[in-house]
Amino acid sequence: MARLYPTLQSLGDFLTARLSKHIADWVFVGIVVIEGVILVPSVMGWEQEPLNYLPSLSLSAA
pTM: predicted TM-score of the whole model, two decimal places: 0.56
Q: Give the residue, 62 or 51, on which the prediction is more confident.
A: 51
Contact present, 13 and 20 (Cβ < 8 Å): no
Q: Give the residue, 61 or 28, on which the prediction is more confident.
A: 28
Within the chain, how many helices (H) and strands (E) appear?
2, 0
Res 43: pLDDT:
86
Res 15: pLDDT:
67
Max mean pLDDT range (7-16, 22-31, 37-46): 22-31
Other beta carbons within 10 Å of 5: 6
14 by DSSP, 3-state: which? helix
| Position 35 confidence tier, pLDDT thresholds 50, 70, 90 | very high
